[in-house]
Amino acid sequence: MKKMAIVCSGGDVSGMNAALKRFVEYCMRNQIEPWFVYDGYEGLIDNRMERATYASVAGIITRGGTKIGSARSKRFMEERYRKQAIANLHARGIEALVVLGGDGSFRGMHRLTQESDLAFCGIPATIDNDIAGTEYCLGVDTALNVIKDAIDAIRDTASSFGRAFVIETMGRECGYLALVSALTSGAEMCLIPELPYDLDAYKRDFLKEKEEGRRYFIAIVSEALKKSETIAKWFEEEVEIESRVTVLGHIQRGGVTSVHDRLMASRFVTHAVDALIAGQKSSVICYNDGGFEEKGIDDVASNRYVIPQELLDLAREYGSE
């Protein structure tokens, strides 16, 4: 193999730059020319690619986001544009492409594997942690730490002022970030789409705790439920405490890459490049039970992620005495 490229697609995560750095260095070590594709599948269609060097990745390991840009691409849903993308890779003599992205990007990559003879390898990279077949996606740890800092800060003001804070976490349809954040920041309430909840039980709990001297509440609500305002109103009316909503939104995607994500970036990329060198054409690098494994893109792209039962069981204790 002489030339290999890397692309970041869909929602960016902190850790993509660390991945780019490892990609360039590990390709060089294997006598492979590393190439960057700019701005996701848009850059693939428009032939925006560049040969990468050590200088291209100097000093980027700490920075969130991605140096080569990421994008969503409507055009990529159409076969004629994917044909164009494949022709561009062929014309440059690029034989393999590493795709850092979420489930949408993997559906796109799945198409590429069906429509070309080039080799592709996916690295799960999304803060939503919602990719089937892997328990960890790059960027999740940094996002969780950003959320933790935000909740800790809100707790300071909530406790001083005696308020209920409803904190809405981003994470598409998946409640993973909300669940782990609630468990690790001592929140009093956690509402996610994966679990039923009983507001009457919460009310009984909260009124009792208020009587016993509790001055504030922290509620973590997944954006998927679209209920943050309703829950804030519920606190005012049912628990009789002033409430505020804080929507964390895109703040969750930024931030200095955590140690865990820097290391995971390096490990994911090493396994991806190794898989491509070994001749794999359509795999995704998955992380489970402390180790890495290759899974077929057809499996990963056509299944749904489920939160591990053990974590869900922990969250079940919310809202029940």
Residues that are catalytic: 128
Closer residue to ligand ADP (CB): 138 or 144: 138
CB 115 within 8 A of CB 79: yes
255 binds ligand ADP (CB under 6 A): no
Q: Which two tokens stand for residue 115?
A: 């429509």
Stretch binding ligand ADP (CB under 6 A), from 31-39, 84-92, 99-107, 305-313: 99-107
Shortest distance, position 172 Cβ to ligand ADP, whole Å: 8
Stretch binding ligand ADP (CB under 6 A), from 30-38, 97-105, 227-235, 292-300: 97-105
103 binds ligand ADP (CB under 6 A): yes
Residues 6+ apart with CB under 8 A from 56: 20, 24, 36, 50, 67
116 binds ligand ADP (CB under 6 A): no
Closer residue to ligand ADP (CB): 34 or 122: 122
Shortest distance, position 198 Cβ to ligand ADP, whole Å: 32
In order of 34, 46, 80, the CA distances from 37 in angstroms are: 10, 10, 19
Please state, in angstroms and rounded to a whole number, the distance separating the CA atoms of residues 7 and 89: 12
Name the nearest CA neighbour of 70 among 26, 113, 102. 102
111 binds ligand ADP (CB under 6 A): yes
Name the nearest CA neighbour of 107 among 135, 126, 88. 126
Q: Which two tokens stand for residue 141?
A: 């740890």
11 binds ligand ADP (CB under 6 A): yes
77 binds ligand ADP (CB under 6 A): yes
Please state, in angstroms and rounded to a whole number, the distance separating the CA atoms of residues 22 and 96: 16
Closer residue to ligand ADP (CB): 178 or 190: 178
Shortest distance, position 237 Cβ to ligand ADP, whole Å: 37
Q: Which two tokens stand for residue 67?
A: 């140096």
Shortest distance, position 304 Cβ to ligand ADP, whole Å: 13
- Helix, strand and coil content of the chain, in percent to the nearest 5, comes to 45, 20, 35
10 binds ligand ADP (CB under 6 A): yes
Window 143-162: residues binding ligand ADP (CB under 6 A)? none
* Binding test (CB under 6 A) with ligand ADP, winner from 73, 88, 129, 258: 73
171 binds ligand ADP (CB under 6 A): no
Please report where in the chains the tokens 């001297």 appear, as a residue: 213
Please report where in the chains the tokens 């993997």 appear, as a residue: 106
Please state, in angstroms and rounded to a whole number, the distance separating the CA atoms of residues 121 and 51: 19
134 binds ligand ADP (CB under 6 A): no
Q: Which two tokens stand for residue 230?
A: 């309703």
Shortest distance, position 46 Cβ to ligand ADP, whole Å: 13
